[in-house]
Amino acid sequence: MAGQILEPGQIEAAANIPPFLHVPGRDLFRVRAERLRQLAAGHPLAGYLLLVAVLCEAQQQVLDNPPALPGPAPEAVARSREHGMPPIAFEALVRADGWLAALDALLVRVEAITNPAVAEAVQQLKIADTAQRKTWGVALLSGQFDLLPPAIAPFVGAALQVAFSHWLLALPDDVIVESEAKVLCPACGSPPVAGMVRHRGKYNGLRYLACSLCSCEWHYVRLKCSHCQESKHLAHLSLDRDGVKGEQAPIRAEACPNCQGYLKQCYLEFDAEAEAQADDLASLDLDLRLSEEGYLRRAPNLLLAPGSE
């Protein structure tokens, strides 16, 4: 649209088109930690959720005072813009050294947690060399969860999230472009952790997919599988909680009979405080139900590799 002169009607129409992208605020990990603390109240997995909240607080501290985290060169970002590719594509950046300082900084922050399992995982990561750490990072982001010890996965995931959010927040405007298939994050190329169905103003009823890695959100039409893009016969499954009926459940899984996959959706209309990663971790009973029905979880949550306790 650059250089084009708009007529008054077109200006109004353009102003009403919701942006395809939402970049999170600089306090994203604090917001997530607060939501986890809120969800922990009276929750059967309270201890676990509170531990993850502490990890998110450590992530925020590293993001607030980041070590040097060399990201993509400006020329590489410009090139990806030209080709419509994600500017901070994870495949390349996880294999480079740039994110490793985020892991070191995070390990210093989480050392204070008095929990034997955490202490052991931190020790294991501390003595691991660069090659080993990168191998684990690559395994986690490519969904090969059996290639890294489950106990260390949340810390590797947390460090990668800090680095990628740091790079995301430093990107110049307009370098992130909508991809054709729209099933992967247009900034880093990762799959979504959940969908967010918004409820306010011009966003009312629109769904955005929340990135599992860098935490940006991109628009994706509703009633369409976010894995295989099938629109037919999608089922919406939820758990009856506290007398809340299914159609008013704040979190529902969109399950696809075509690919047998599912993705959880947070309906902000029924819980305006929902946060994709936090609400995902607090609703693992819904995953259990989906698994019993034969559906496969497609969404990674980098703070919980399958097999983790």
Dihedral (CA of 40, 238, 267, 17) sign: positive
Member of 38, 61, 179, 258 binding Fe ion (CB under 5 A): 258
Member of 21, 234, 239, 259 binding Fe ion (CB under 5 A): 259
Cα–Cα distances in angstroms (integers) from residue 192 to residues 12, 16, 117, 240, in the given order: 31, 26, 28, 25
211 binds Fe ion (CB under 5 A): yes
Measured from the CB atom, is 202 or 233 closer to Fe ion?
233
- Helix, strand counts (H, E) of the chain: 11, 8
Member of 184, 188, 251, 290 binding Fe ion (CB under 5 A): 188
230 binds Fe ion (CB under 5 A): yes
166 binds Fe ion (CB under 5 A): no
185 binds Fe ion (CB under 5 A): yes
Member of 228, 272, 288, 296 binding Fe ion (CB under 5 A): 228
- Burial (CB count <10 Å: 0-12, 13-18, 19+), residue 271: middle
Beta carbon of residue 85, minimum distance to Fe ion (angstroms, whole number): 13
Instruction: Match 């029924």 to its residue by tokens.
Output: 270
Computed on alpha carbons and rounded to an integer, the radius of gyration of the chain in Å comes to 19
The rounded distance, in Å, linking the Cα atoms of 52 and 62 is 15
**Of the ranges 137-145, 201-209, 251-259, 275-283, which one interacts with Fe ion (CB under 5 A)?**
251-259
281 binds Fe ion (CB under 5 A): no
Both structure tokens of 155: 């810390």
Q: What residue ranges bind Fe ion (CB under 5 A)? A: 185, 187-188, 190, 211, 213-214, 225, 227-228, 230, 256, 258-259
